[in-house]
Amino acid sequence: MTTTANTERPEKSEREFHPRILVVEDEAIVACHFQQRLTRMGYTVTGLAYDSEQAVQKASETNPELILMDINLGHGLNGIETAMLIRKQQDLPIIYITANSDTDTVRRAARSGPFGYILKPFEDRELETAIHLGVAKHKMELRLKESERRFNATLTSVADGLIATDPDGRIEFFNDSAEIITGWTHADVLGRKLSDVFLLKDDGTHGPSTNVFSPFLPGVLPGDSRTVLLARRDGTTIPIEYRAAHIHDERQYSKGVVISFSDITGRRHAEEKIHTAQQQLTEAHQHLQHKHEELQSFYHTVSHEVKTPLTSAREFVSLVMEGLAGPVTDTQKEYLSIAQESCDQMHTCINDMLDVTRLETGKMNIEFRTSSLADLTRRIVTRQMSAAERKGVHLNCTIKPGVGDILMDETRIAQVIGNLLNNALKFTSEGGLVSVVVEPLATLADHVRITVSDTGCGIHKKHLARIFDRLYQVRDGDASSRMGLGLGLYICHELVRLHNGSICVESVIGQGSTFYVTLPVSPKKSFLPMGHANELVAHLAA
Ligand code: ADP
């Protein structure tokens, strides 16, 4: 049977407690003896070094995982000095072996950061234990270094400036952002007093900030952020926001202070800009408001001034038409009736403008009185009957049972119904049908509904959401849609709102439109919830 020596290095876990060892011992016989003992104990000895020079060389050439180092190496550097030299180049656990246990040797060895210390003569078990502990300690040290490195890298790269001090307020840590914000370099400030570098001024008075080092004072809440001015190294001043906290040890003793801070110059500029913009906006708003009021008062005056001569012009046209100023031919009558219609149109426009001014200045007076909605509706429909007949449009009115008197401003509700009816007749062609229905509202107690529907041209759904807006007109219809000012439905909406009611519309292009006005029987008591109009449409559609 042939056995082959396994030259491959075993997996780390298998040889966890069997590191490859370099022995440094000036006495060759003792070194040899160590080698034999270690081999017997299952360790691999990478080499024997008899002095400091050989130790440094073999440590780098033979790739050991641990060094057993005799402190007394005869001539040249001693074991402690050699260990320190090797540790500068290689991170290896080094265990000292010595026959001396005097205090001075122990102290010197301790200062060099050893991973173990064995006194000659020693048992195999003692050696094994020292090796195991040395390896474990080294692993812990590596892990600690790694976590320290990660921690440092994180703190160094954070966007906020970070400064940490020792208990005397001397700077121990100064990250990259702190360098950029303060203008000081890490190398310049390490070991210097924080108060020499981190010079703060009060944000308001620009005097020295009194509570800057308050983290050193008792009773200050940690994490409290403050805004101050920081004097940079070059003498310029920038606004910063900072937080400070004590670094406590496990017994809650302060081991220093950590300060995090950020340059808020950009934020300040943005805030100033926003502030200026807000001021400008307020001024512009006031200016516009003023202009708006001026315009409204101008409208009001002009409308009144125009209304009086317009009324007398219409009156005189009527007089002439009726023959009171002498005989009138048919052609003259036809022309005069066109003039009369134009006067009526202008009258409607002026009244709409006056109403809008009243609505927007809160001067629209609503005088509530209990009256019959049914009678009012019938009167309005009757008044329009001849106009409908002239156009060849069927007009009918239905008052359903249960519609009683309601509390309303009759003139204003008449205006709403009249406006809707006018529009319906305007947009319905010959042979079409316009109906007005008044009924108690089934879905909401103490409410009535007026429905004005037509079989006219309809309104495209893209306009429906804005149809009640002030000055909104549908531009894609025929010329009749351009005759008004786009105020009629807006006024209807506002008047209905002043009655605590709601108005909405459904329309299908080419098939007609239906306007629904919902009014409470007693507007002062009831309140139609927002969105009810939409519910109503949904209900009706269903
Ligand atoms: P105006 O005061 O100019 O008559 P309105 O506010 O009464 O305007 O109406 C706004 C727009 O709504 C009008 O331009 C018209 O095109 C459209 N509209 C209103 N009622 C109807 C209707 N019954 N059928 C079709 N379009 C209508």
CA distance 313 to 320: 11
**Looking at ligand 1, which residue's alpha carbon is closest to its atom 15?**
481
CA distance 354 to 346: 12
How confident is the model over 5-51, as pLDDT tens digits? 344 444 444 445 689 999 999 999 999 999 999 999 999 999 999 99
> Which SS3 state, helix, strand or coil, does residue 384 take?
helix
**Residues in contact with 368: Cβ distance below 8 Å, sequence separation at least 6, in sequence order:** 407, 408, 409, 523, 524
Tokens of 474: 């549908």
How confident is the model over 241-281, as pLDDT tens digits? 988 888 888 888 888 888 899 999 999 999 999 999 999 99
Contacts by 43-47, CB closer than 8 A, 24 or more apart: 43/18, 43/19, 43/131, 44/18, 44/20, 45/20, 45/21, 46/20, 46/21, 46/22, 47/22, 47/23
Contact (CB, 8 A) for 451 and 516: yes
Q: How far is CA 65 from CA 15, 95, 119, 140, 337, in A?
A: 11, 11, 21, 15, 117
**Average pLDDT of the segment spanning 483-505:** 91
Tokens of 519: 């009014």
Of the two residues 525 and 394, the one the predictor is more confident about is 394
The beta-strand segments (E) located in 391-528 are 394-399, 405-408, 433-440, 447-454, 502-508, 512-520
Contact (CB, 8 A) for 448 and 519: yes
How confident is the model over 80-105, as pLDDT tens digits? 899 999 988 998 999 998 887 677 77
Distance 423 CA to ligand 1 centre (A): 6
| Residue type (1 letter), 347 | H
The H or E element that residue 329 is part of is: none
| Residue type (1 letter), 238 | I
Q: Confidence band (pLDDT; 50, 70, 90) for 4?
A: very low
Half-sphere exposure of 179 (CA within 13 A, CB side): 14
In DSSP terms, 386 is beta-bridged to none
Contact (CB, 8 A) for 232 and 182: yes
**Looking at ligand 1, which residue's alpha carbon is closest to its atom 4?**
484
Distance 426 CA to ligand 1 centre (A): 9
Which residue reads 């400030």 in tokens? 189
Return the sign of the alpha-carbon dihedral for residues 214, 219, 221, 226. Answer: negative
Tokens of 175: 């990250």
**Looking at ligand 1, which residue's alpha carbon is closest to its atom 25?**
458
Which residue reads 């804005």 in tokens? 466
Which residue reads 């310029």 in tokens? 236
Which residue reads 């060849």 in tokens? 392
Residues with CB under 6 A from ligand 1: 423-424, 427, 454, 456-457, 459, 467, 472-474, 477, 481, 484-490, 513
Nearest ligand 1 atom to the CA of 472 is 10
- Range picked from 144-158, 385-399, 463-477 for highest mean pLDDT: 385-399
CA distance 272 to 259: 27
How confident is the model over 163-183, as pLDDT tens digits? 999 988 899 999 999 999 999
Q: Confidence band (pLDDT; 50, 70, 90) for 435?
A: very high
Residue 478 has a pLDDT of 58
- Tell me which residue of 139, 23, 132, 142 sits closest to 73, measured CA to CA: 23
- Tell me which residue of 419, 416, 453 sits closest to 435, measured CA to CA: 453
Percent of the chain with pLDDT over 90: 49
Distance 481 CA to ligand 1 centre (A): 6
Residue 11 has a pLDDT of 46
Q: CB-based burial of residue 170 (10 Å sphere; 0-12 exposed, 13-18 middle, 19+ buried)?
A: middle
Q: Confidence band (pLDDT; 50, 70, 90) for 524?
A: low
Contact (CB, 8 A) for 470 and 356: yes
Distance 512 CA to ligand 1 centre (A): 12
> Which SS3 state, helix, strand or coil, does residue 195 take?
helix
Pocket test residue of 489, 513, 515 for ligand 1, highest count of atoms within 8 A of CB:
489
**Average pLDDT of the segment spanning 199-203:** 82
Pocket test residue of 481, 493, 516 for ligand 1, highest count of atoms within 8 A of CB:
481
CA distance 252 to 273: 45
> Which range (193-202, 205-214, 333-342) has the least confidence?
205-214
